[in-house]
Structure 1
Amino acid sequence: MKSHFGIKTILLKVSRTTQSVLQTLLEGYLQARQILVDPGLTVYQLPDGTIVELYGSGASYPPFLFQHSDIVIGYRVGNLTQAMQMLLKTGARQLSEVVTITSRNCYCFMLLNGTQVIGLYQLS
């Protein structure tokens, strides 16, 4: 199976108005499929597999997630440990423990340059 690297998730903290506009764009133009609706959180999957998570009022998320920006991009990597080590050498900081979904699927969040939170996802 071919590995695909690049953007895996786009996490957005949104107001009610912005959420409505983005839902119209995602469903009406980008052909996104709604895959989860929880209080304050709506999750879509784009045709290319990218996940878009809209965090509105009432959503639950770690305090660090949107501390620096209302947008967090998550990147798919081949080896999470290697990607983390590379970023740590540049001065990045690990914000979360590595969350293990299965033995070959895990993720964590990192802070780059003290200003940008990103997610790293290893998915096999």
Structure 2
Amino acid sequence: MLKYFFGLLISLSFGAQAGCSISDEMREMYNAKYAEQISIDVKLSGHNYTVLISAPKALNSEPFQGFHLVADSFNEPTFAAALESFEEGSEFKTWFDIDAGLVRKHLIVVTFGEDCGFDVTKEVFYQ
């Protein structure tokens, strides 16, 4: 039941529309094409990681819409949340802190475009 709740939350959070669907192949294509444009910096300080994410104001002429944090899997997340962003120079940024003991697989999903836009997904690598 919880799995379906998180799936619904992700769909609503990413602005999914009734006639708008992106295939796994299209998602992989966007990731391959634009992943380099998304920056994820991870720093360990004591027992906490600080993660700073940066994205351009637009990709492929589509405006930035938002950042999302997804835990474990895009298709079967155990946690999903929208991250508040702020504008700095020519980019949008967001950040979060996490205790090193709580580290698991985290994905950052960056959404561009309105209506049927697209997402770029990158994994956070804790070192």
User: Which range, TM-score by smaller chain?
Assistant: 0.3 to 0.5
Structure possessing the higher relative contact order (Cα contacts under 8 Å, 6 or more residues apart): 2
Higher helix share goes to which structure?
2
Query: What is the TM-score normalised by the length of structure 1?
Result: 0.32
Query: What is the TM-score normalised by the length of structure 2?
Result: 0.32
Higher strand share goes to which structure?
2
